[in-house]
Amino acid sequence: MKATIDHNSQTFEVDFSKPLDISIPLTNTDENPIAWYIEKPEIEPVRFGDWIGKVSEGSSSTNFNNIVFNPHGHGTHTECLGHITKEFYSINQSLKTFFFLAELVSVEPESQGADFVITKEQIEKALNGKTPEAIVIRTLPNLKEKRSKKYSNTNPPYLDEKASEFIRESGIKHLLIDLPSVDKEKDEGKLVAHKAFWNVKNVDVLNEDARLGATITELIFVSDEISEGSYLLNLQIASFENDASPSKPVLYKIE
């Protein structure tokens, strides 16, 4: 199902029958990734006395589950600047369009003391002068265990503040990364990469030039079979009035 797309004064062809899903599914098993010191998600049938909302249990004609999860700690999610501001902002109100030109890059974080950090120089080199609407960062080594990793208390790699500033100054509005956060796990609440990307100078009173429409998507997984380069990104979210939503980013190769 090929289509010719006219987007931001550019014309190109994509095959919508070949989606490349870079999200991690949410499950209630030990295969689910976990960050931020919480337990795995809960997916359980509703119970009313002897009635159980599960067809295989014999008392229900439908499967009828409750789901308890945290979007930030349980899988692929997209967040708006409401994640760090005193005033409430919703991802459902912030993200209003869903297709973007994206550049997929692979970066091996650099060792800096006890940390591994993605630097401005690495991002600048990877983009090589390109200024897409979205950047998709695949960190190396690209181990499959990312899909089920327990990140709590592991000090994962993160994005240097200057790298985040460079991404913002390049005009990139959507940042996607295969880590639980763009910031250091334990940073005393500074969140410098989040603030730099959204241009938030004061979390109590939002500055006029803060980037309300910009998003960060974390805990993606980009398989090695997906080559670096330019893609059409479809960034899908659930309609939660919350700072973040579980999301399903899908790439389409530009032909």
- Each residue of 214-223: pLDDT tens digit? 999 999 999 9
The pLDDT score that the predictor gives to residue 234 is 98
CB 41 within 8 A of CB 74: yes
Q: Is the dihedral of CA 219, 73, 79, 242 positive or negative?
A: positive
The pLDDT > 70 percentage for the chain reads 100
Task: Tell me, yes or no, if the pTM score tops 0.75.
Answer: yes
Question: In which band, very low, low, confident or very high, does the pLDDT at 27 lie, cut at 50, 70 and 90?
Answer: very high
CB neighbour list of residue 43: distance below 8 Å, 6 or more residues apart? 27, 28, 65, 66, 67, 68
Instruction: Provide the percentage of residues in the chain whose pLDDT is more than 90.
Output: 95
- Inform me whether the pLDDT recorded for 9 exceeds 90: no
Q: What are phi and psi of 235, to 5 degrees?
A: -100, 100
**Is the confidence at residue 237, as pLDDT, over 90?**
yes
Q: Which class is 2-27+71-253 in CATH?
A: alpha beta
pLDDT tens digits for range 52-90: 999 999 889 999 999 999 999 999 999 999 999 999 999
Distance from C-alpha of 241 to C-alpha of 87, rounded to nearest angstrom: 13
Give the pLDDT score at 6: 85
Q: Which of 157, 162, 161 is nearest to 117 (CA)?
A: 157
What 3-state DSSP class applies to 88? coil
The alpha helices in the chain, defined as continuous H runs, are 91-94, 120-127, 161-169, 192-198
